[in-house]
Amino acid sequence: MKLGLEGKAAIVTGGSLGIGRAVAIGLAREGVDVAVNYRRHDAEAKAVVAEIEKLGRRGLAVKADVASFGDAEAMVQQVKEAFGRLDILVCNAGITWDGVIWKMSEQQWDAVIGVNLKGYFNYNRAAAILFKDQKSGKIVNISSINGLRGKFAQTNYAASKGGEIALSKSLAKELGKFNVNVNVVAPGMVLTEMMEKIPAEFKNTALAETVLGRFADPADVADLVAFLCSDRSRHITGEVIKIDGGQYI
């Protein structure tokens, strides 16, 4: 059964790979025109746009640095002009640069916070201005269970993900009276390209933590995001929904 998203328009940051790719294609399947933000993966971003267009929707790939305040403003404006509207923002772009804090450099901290937290602020702010004026919109910020519980050797990443949650809750309060929903999806371990770089011992530990005994597929996350972008979730805002196979329990 369709979610009633036909004719809507969305931005998905970090949309060339992994969760972002699955979200972009999942929204297109629901009838949404989708603009994909990316920074380095040109071929992959173009491939996602091709998949979107195969589904009969309009696709757009925009190369932009999410950590750039100006790039975010420009992309939101570009997408609104290209599609004639913007209804949905999904912030997903993120990086990791792990290390215990006594070995973590200022560069490691600044890079992760700049992309993962400032990047979310940049796009949430730019979309909020538009959504407030049109009195409608859906924002879904992809965080992590490690933003709720912390993680060894990830003070920068966990802090950024926890910050995304606080940002989202505050924004939900600010935008509620304008008919704008803001929610957070907090995955556990997901089978993405980023996961391939994780040592086997850490993956095995994470798998042992899950109640269901499996990792999420990006499509699992995409299905939840699509629901939160639809009017079926119209009375849900400021929530953090874990999708982790019971890993957090």
10 strand-pairing partners: 34, 88
Catalytic residue among 38, 123, 157, 248: 157
- Terminal alpha carbon distance of the chain: 31
Closest alpha carbon to 146 in 215, 214, 239, 242: 242
Using a 10 angstrom Cβ sphere, with 0-12 exposed, 13-18 middle and 19 or more buried, the burial of residue 64 is: buried
Q: What angle do CA 211, 216, 219 make, to 5 degrees?
A: 145
Distance in angstroms (rounded) separating the CA atoms of residues 115 and 125: 15
Q: Which residues contact 151 (CB under 8 A, 6 or more apart)?
A: 157, 158
Is 157 labeled as catalytic in the residue annotation? Answer: yes
The helix/strand/coil state of 249 is: coil
The helix/strand/coil state of 6 is: coil
Distance in angstroms (rounded) separating the CA atoms of residues 188 and 40: 25
Could you list the active site residues?
157
